[in-house]
Amino acid sequence: MRVFSLTILLLVLCFAPAHSAFPAQSPSPQTPAPSPPDLAAAKIIFEGHCALCHGMDGGGGRGPSLRRPKLAHASDDEALKSVIEQGIPPQMPDAWYLSKEEIASVAAYVRSLGNVPPETLPGDPVRGKAVYARSGCSACHILAGEGAGFGPDLTDVGARRGSARLRETLQNPAKTIPENFLLVEAVTNFGQALRGIRLNEDTFSIQLKDQQGRFHSFRKTDLRDLKKLRGETPMPSYASALSSAELEDLINFLAAQRGNP
Amino acid sequence: MKLLTLFLLTASAAFAQVPFERIVNADKEPGNWLTYSRDFQGHRFSPLAEITTQNVSQLKVKWAFQFPDERTEVSPIVIDGILYVTGPNSAAAIDGRSGRSLWTWKRPIPSDYHSIGFGHTNRGPAVLDDKLFVATLDGYLFALDLKSGIERWSAKVLDYKLGYSMTMAPLAIDGKVVVGVSGGEAGIRGFIDAYDAKTGQQAWRFWTIPGPGEPGHETWSGDDWKTGGGATWVTGAYDPELKLVYWGVGNPGPDWNGDVRPGDNLYTCSLVALDAATGKLRWYFQFSPHDTHDWDATHVPMLFDTPVTGAMRKLVAIANRNAFYYVLDRATGEFLAGKPYAKQTWATGLDSKGRPIRAPNSDPSKEGTLIWPNLNGATVWFSPSYDPQTGFVYVATREIGARYFKRDTPYKAGTFFPGGGEDELSPDDAWGAIKALQAETGELRWEFKLLSPPWAGVLSTAGGLVFSGSDEGNFYALDAKTGKPLWDFQTGGAIGDNPVSFTIDGHQCIAVAADRVLYVFGL
């Protein structure tokens, strides 16, 4: 029950800001209801004015990707509208030529790029939490502060991933490897082999984390071999390990994880 | 003794005068860096040889200077131990021994100024006689007193409210200061201007988009020339014997929708050779006729003389954003050689005149068309280097493709006028390299691979070294003959500018900026 309450609380906390770009549920009689965001018009504005840096699909380029639930310069929708209107000098120009309504629409559009809307799903989140616990997920993932930080953080996975993507990852994890996740295998000039997740890399060095959570840093000249295991993941498939009911429960539980407030 | 040294240092700065002849004869004073590329020929090669392949591993930071603005792209001017740097609407003189500023100058950026398609930046100053020349974002060319930073004169070059701006380092030649403009994503009509260095009076203007009645106007239709782009935002080169200014011209507007501007769209994506006295066009060479990928031809041209089929020729070479390397006769513009130096899928080759033979279905489309290179091209604004010792040209090369989209874009003054855009491929499918090309042919001699496509230019030195930087903050030295890495230093910030070399107290230094920090290295 406590878990359920917490989930509801998280849902409320996480959805509230996302909805603030939309018309209030019950506008006061004195305040005219703002017009709803025009996402189609916002897409045209985005492609014309934002895509040069952020990419036509918002996936980033010269500027950062906007396909994420939390944006570094926009803690809430008011902040996002402010960023769009005023820019982030010196790199991001302001949008002085847009009306307030257009800015609100573009803000809603940008939010839509990185926020998976809540879905009505089969399964039960309480049973799903139990499935999560007994399946060993926390050996690699942190969720709501608990677990090991080897794999991606799942605290806000429900805001980042829809149920279809969650299902695909659980059944066939190699098909849905997250952006910037790379498993590597390094062999030193002395023959010591090591597998781990790439934490950082430049032309001359690479930094890894092994499954025990230990950090390793190498000059590339000290490595005999450096294999980038694209398309590989240490995560096992749960296609046969879980029944379809367990899978739906787990997906429901994960979809409810919308991040820390 | 310390006081005397300080006095001498101060005195040498106070009496610094840089007549045109000093810049023409830059090789006679290798300890200074008197123009954007050190010499008028655009070589970014230093004749200094104290730092060599044998001792470069001992290179250390001597001092660092923090700019108030992030991602500086400055290429300093260095005169007798003093570094002159710029930022957006700002400049400073820095003591080369201590890294402490001697004077600073700043002009407020107007609240209604908008950079369209680039960040607030400035790539460096120019010097002539007793003045430092700085181009500002809001469209003024300022002449500052070298000794104090006090304004001598200013000239209004452009109206920023129409989307114009200036980010490049001016080019000071014989009695004139040449500047180009930014704004190629804003539907401007580009130009190159020259101003009298003593008075600030405009000497000439060359419109990069010809108007009605001018040759080349027939490559436009209707009023599309009025918003035709052709920005000129990278510093050119100068031949003091031919008295020609060589300057690159940017993309046509709108960038990705060519349907609204049928024709070759001269002189966009071209190199123009202008008479330095009058600004009249002597010749042009268009690299990407009717460009639809935003491949500005705004690069530093490299001028050198070398035998071609037995006869000595005056050449100009360009490593172009469109992924082809070109060698032209710089007296006539005749095409002599050209070949790809990076992955490209938009052309099947060049014809005998150097005109690209377009691959089918290479234009942006509604659904997206996958093409190499991406909009930033196989190289961008940052400088290549020509090394007279090896005969190689070094190019910081970007290997990345993108899906290009075409969209409708109504023109609205002072806003983006793109006509589409791109989705670039993921970082895992992109890489970078320093490539050494045989200067007169473009044949690849070696390449040094980088983790990601770079944003930093290249410096070569008589010590047999090539210096450049990475987007991950590595500043590094390669063997100029082989490309073997010999030294690297993690600066902590992305490097997006051009390195320079000079002497302080008679010893060779190398300077490069990383994010907002200018580092000076020495042995």
CA distances from B369 to B226, B256, B273, B376 (A): 28, 11, 34, 16
Report d(CA B347, CA B325) in Å as an integer: 13
B405 contacts on A by Cβ (under 8 Å): 47, 51, 56
Q: What is the DSSP secondary structure assignment for residue A113, as one 8-state letter?
A: H
Q: Report which of B55, B52, B34, B54 is spatially closest to residue B43, judged by C-alpha positions.
A: B34
Q: State the average pLDDT over residues A235-261.
A: 94
- Closest-CA residue of chain A to B254: A48
Residue A15 pLDDT > 80, yes or no? no
Q: Please check whether residue A119 touches B, CB under 8 A.
A: no
Report d(CA B278, CA B151) in Å as an integer: 27
User: Considering B39, B264, B294, B296, which one is annotated as catalytic?
Assistant: B294
The answer to whether B380 and B250 are in contact (CB under 8 A) is no
Candidate from A55, A94, A204 with C-beta closest to B424: A55
Residue A9 pLDDT > 80, yes or no? no
Candidate from A90, A96, A182 with C-beta closest to B88: A90
Q: Report which of B188, B332, B316 is spatially closest to residue B247, judged by C-alpha positions.
A: B316
Beta-strand runs (E) in B190-269: 191-196, 202-207, 237-239, 244-248
Higher pLDDT, A178 or B327: B327
Give residues 192 to 221 of A whose Cβ lies within 8 Å of B. Answer: 201-205
Q: Please check whether residue A222 touches B, CB under 8 A.
A: no
* pTM for the model: 0.89
Q: Give me the tens of pLDDT residue by residue for chain B, a chain 523 residues long.
A: 444 454 444 444 444 499 999 999 999 999 999 999 999 999 999 999 999 999 999 999 999 999 998 889 999 999 999 999 999 999 999 999 999 999 999 999 998 898 888 889 999 999 999 999 999 999 999 999 999 999 999 999 999 999 999 999 999 999 999 999 999 999 999 999 999 999 999 999 999 999 999 999 999 999 999 999 999 999 999 999 999 999 999 999 999 999 999 999 999 999 999 999 999 999 999 999 999 999 999 999 999 999 888 899 999 999 999 999 999 999 999 999 999 999 999 999 999 999 999 999 999 999 999 999 999 999 999 999 999 999 999 999 999 999 999 998 889 998 889 999 888 888 888 999 999 999 999 999 999 999 999 999 999 999 999 999 999 999 999 999 999 999 999 999 999 999 999 999 999 999 999 999 999 999 9
Tokens (6 digits) for B406: 């075409």
The answer to whether A90 and A226 are in contact (CB under 8 A) is no
The answer to whether B230 and B271 are in contact (CB under 8 A) is no
Sequence-distant (6+) residues with CB within 8 A of B84 are B76, B77, B78, B91, B92, B93, B94, B125, B127, B132, B146
pLDDT > 90 in chain A, percent = 56
Sequence-distant (6+) residues with CB within 8 A of B389 are B462, B464, B480
Contact A203 B474 (CB under 8 A): yes
Contact B115 A90 (CB under 8 A): yes
Report d(CA B358, CA B346) in Å as an integer: 6
Each domain of chain B, given as residue ranges in start order, spans 2-522
pLDDT at B156: 98
How many angstroms away from the CA of B154 is the closest CA of chain A?
Answer: 24
Sequence-distant (6+) residues with CB within 8 A of B107 are B89, B90, B136, B138, B140, B142
Q: State the average pLDDT over residues A141-166.
A: 92
Report d(CA B131, CA B236) in Å as an integer: 20
A204 contacts on B by Cβ (under 8 Å): 474, 476, 485, 488, 490
Q: Find the helix or strand (DSSP H, E) in which A39 lies.
A: helix A39-45
**Could you report how far apart the first and last alpha carbons of chain B are, in Å?**
23
What are the pLDDT digits (tens) for A185-231? 999 999 999 999 999 999 999 999 998 889 999 999 999 999 999 99
pLDDT at A114: 82
Candidate from B414, B424, B470 with C-beta closest to A61: B424
pLDDT at A33: 66
Tokens (6 digits) for B204: 């000439």
pLDDT at B448: 98
Q: Please check whether residue B88 touches A, CB under 8 A.
A: yes
Contact B117 A230 (CB under 8 A): no
Q: Report which of B253, B417, B426 is spatially closest to residue A57, judged by C-alpha positions.
A: B426
Sequence-distant (6+) residues with CB within 8 A of B482 are B446
> What is the residue type of B172?
A
Three-state DSSP state, B493 = coil
Fold of the domain spanning B2-522: Methanol Dehydrogenase; Chain A (2.140.10)
pLDDT at A31: 57
pLDDT > 70 in chain B, percent = 97
CA distances from A60 to A175, A179, B51, B402, B425 (A): 22, 12, 40, 12, 10
pLDDT at A259: 86
B418 contacts on A by Cβ (under 8 Å): 48-49, 51-52
pLDDT at A11: 33
Contact A90 B121 (CB under 8 A): yes
Contact B423 A61 (CB under 8 A): yes
Residue A23 pLDDT > 70, yes or no? no
> Given pLDDT bands bounded at 50, 70 and 90, which one contains residue A30?
low
Q: How many CB pairs under 8 A join A and B?
A: 86
How many angstroms away from the CA of B266 is the closest CA of chain A?
Answer: 24
pLDDT at A2: 40
- Closest-CA residue of chain A to B487: A204
The answer to whether B505 and B81 are in contact (CB under 8 A) is yes
Residue A21 pLDDT > 60, yes or no? no
What are the pLDDT digits (tens) for A67-123? 888 888 888 889 999 999 888 877 787 888 888 999 999 999 999 888 878 889 999
The answer to whether B494 and B71 are in contact (CB under 8 A) is yes
- The verdict on whether B196 is a catalytic residue reads no
